[in-house]
Homo-oligomer: A and B are copies of this chain.
Amino acid sequence: MNTPLYQELATKIQGLIRAGTFPSGSKLPSVRRLSREQNVSVTTAMEAYSRLEGLGLIQSRPRSGYFVRPPIVTAGQLPKPSEQSRKPITVQYPQIMQAVIEAVANPRIVPFGAAAPGDEIIPHKRLSTLSNALIRRHGAAAFRYSMAPGRKELRAIISRRMLSAGVQADPDDIVTTQGATEALALALRATTSPGDVVAVENPTYFGILHLCKDFGLNVVEVPMDAQKGISITALEELSTNYKIAACIVQPSFQNPLGSCMPDDTKKQLVDLAIARDFALIEDDLYGELGHSGPRPSALAGFDKDGRVIQCGSVSKWLAPGIRVGWVISRKYRDEIRRLKAIHSLSSSTLSELVVAEYFAIGGAERHLRRVSSLFGEYCAEMREAVLREFPAGTRVNQPKGGFVLWVEMPEKYDSELLSIAALEHDICLIPGSLFSASCGLKNCLRLSCGHSWSKRSAEAIRTLGRLVTTCVR
């Protein structure tokens, strides 16, 4: 079989980038010009660029064309693999939690705290236009109750979109929620009872730990690799020693590690869940936010047994405050519908219509590509700054998706002390102890890079680097 023409062309351009003909950050010829200069069709030229974009070598910017991506920084070591629980424990709240949570909501502060996108990411004018059109179309019906399972329009398009993650979900297996937190709460309620043991990633998003604690669940922490995610061997061992009711994972671009489970690990995880009969809750909040290349397969796509409950939302890339999320499960569908009706009755009808329309005709895919690529740049900038400003020996993850950095400082440094000192300088960050069920990980911290990189950000990282030297245990 001959190499397709577009692939030949892509290889040629790749060579020119390596040779420095097109240096990092430079603009590439337009598709029309490339087609003319290389004597190929416009389609072939586009396919070549598309391939290079998939490889993460170039990036498209709306209305500007294609650019050579800055090389991904590979200096700096990744965080070390984390530890495994000896036995199930009740989640502990670090004392500092309340102060951190309050600071997160403070809009004046340097926003390295909340994992929220910056204002420049939110297409508020588009949302306003869609909202007007939908109120005109539906009239008062846009403000009626939207009882569980939620608006059909939204469930249908979520079902179509999940195909790209390898998941075949019937719209009737989807229940819409008011954000992913409600989705996770419903999934936990549907699969566990107080006193049960839940396996969580270590570190994991603190919201998951808080839900477990509030539902009276005990947790076992499973070690994580900063690139490949959860350790199946460790989970297998834990599930031999303890009856696990459910395991919550973020297979794609984990918060806070940014890790991405390889496909064969996903398959192993599903097989283990079947063998040991526990439910799998997939938090897919960041699944669509890969900085380049195709969307990772979802865990749910490897599940022939119906035991994966998938949770998602648009909070991280469209609008945090629009409160639209979903939970997908065939097996637990009826129970989840029932629980949704009992605990929040209805979701916001207009918000559901707006998000459905944004997916259908509003430009969601283009927006996703643009913002994911931006998040990649924000992460790279911040990572470089941290490696430059923080004490020697500091390790930082290198996420290929999402927009949080996990910083592991040498053992003697204390991120709780750092976060107190940082608040005095109007900088918010989340200490590692919030991501640990046992308040461990005290030398780690999470920095959110959802906001565009600025002089203020650079100065804040410099300040943190200076402050940390005094935050020794």
Show the binding face of A for B, using Cβ within 8 Å: 101, 104-105, 107, 114, 116, 119-122, 124-125, 127-128, 131-132, 135-136, 139-147, 178-179, 181-182, 185, 194, 207, 210-211, 214, 315, 319-323, 339, 341-351
Contacts and interface: CB of A to CB of B under 8 A. Distances in A.
Given A181-B345, A320-B144, A346-B179, A128 B120 contact: no
17 contacts: A101-B147, A104-B147, A121-B140, A124-B142, A127-B135, A131-B131, A143-B320, A144-B321, A178-B348, A181-B342, A185-B343, A211-B342, A214-B339, A322-B350, A323-B348, A348-B348, A351-B351
Contacts of A178: 178, 323, 344, 348
Nearest to A143: B319
A120 B140 contact: yes
A119 B145 contact: no
B343 A211 contact: yes
A119 B141 contact: yes
B122 A143 contact: yes
A347 to B, nearest CB: 7
9 pairs of A and B residues whose beta carbons are closest in the complex: A321-B349, A119-B140, A143-B319, A122-B140, A181-B345, A105-B147, A145-B320, A128-B135, A210-B342
A145 B116 contact: yes
A344 to B, nearest CB: 5
Max chain B CB contacts within 10 Å: which of A104, A116, A132, A323?
A: A323
Nearest to A318: B143
A321 B138 CA distance: 13
Contacts of A146: 321
Contact of A346 (B125, B321, B344, B351): B321
Nearest to A119: B140
Contacts of A351: 348, 351
B140 A342 contact: no
Given A101-B341, A116-B145, A182-B344, 19 more contacts: A119-B140, A120-B140, A124-B139, A124-B140, A124-B142, A127-B143, A143-B319, A143-B322, A178-B178, A178-B323, A179-B345, A179-B346, A181-B342, A182-B343, A210-B341, A214-B343, A320-B346, A323-B348, A351-B351
A132 B347 CA distance: 21
Contacts of A104: 147
Contacts of A348: 178, 321-323, 348, 351
